[in-house]
Amino acid sequence: MEHHLILRVIAKLMIPLILVFALYVQFHGEYSPGGGFQAGVIFAAGFILYGLIYGLDKVRQVISPVTIRITAALGVLLYAGVGIAGLLLGGQFLEYNVLASDPVHGQHLGILLIELGVGTTVASVMIMFFYVFARP
């Protein structure tokens, strides 16, 4: 895709906005619609757009398939780890109240962390699907 000048310029303008919007949806999900699932998908869409326009090799230089596999597992690990942390701190599995001194504060921390885990896994898996499906 050497000659698609308009596509390349527009993509360069759009991709940072898409990624920032994904982060907004991720970390503002407690106050507005959104959360880890939607944020992960939007984040992946930014990378996929880059890959579609600049080529699979370029986007693989940004995030290698090996890294993507590790982050996909890390997200699930983070989620389950928050559950185990609640268990170790004297609560039940996935009980966030014990994560901080104040139960409401613990809930905030727990939700933030598990949403981060969801977002990481979803984004990684979607980018991985693109890598696998788009290969010639």
Partner 1 sequence: MTIEIFIDILLLFMLLLTALFIQRMKNLFSAVILTGIFSLLSASLFLTMDAVDVSFTEASVGAGIATLLFLGTLAQTSSTESRPQRLPVMALVVVSLTGLMLIYGISDIPSFGDPGNPVQTYLSPRFIEVSPREIGIPNMVTSVLASYRGYDTLGEVTVIFTACVGVLLMLGRGRKRS
Quick check: 46 binds partner 1 (CB under 8 A)?
A: no
CB of 91 to partner 1, least distance (A): 12
In angstroms, what is the minimal distance from the CB of 61 to partner 1? 16
Q: Is 35 in the site for partner 1 (CB under 8 A)?
A: yes
Q: How far apart are CA 108 and CA 116, in angstroms?
A: 12
Least distance from partner 1 to the Cβ atom of residue 123, Å: 10
- Cβ-based nearer residue to partner 1, 94 or 98: 94
Comparing CA positions, the residue from 123, 115, 136, 133 lying closest to residue 47 is: 123
Q: Least distance in Å: CB of 54 to partner 1? A: 16
What angle is formed at CA 11 by the lines to CA 43 and CA 16, rounded to 5 degrees?
Answer: 45
Toward partner 1, which CB reaches closer, 12 or 105?
A: 105
Structure tokens at 111: 């939700």
Helices (H), the chain: 5-27, 36-54, 56-62, 65-88, 103-134
Verify binding: residue 4, partner 1, rule CB under 8 A. Answer: no
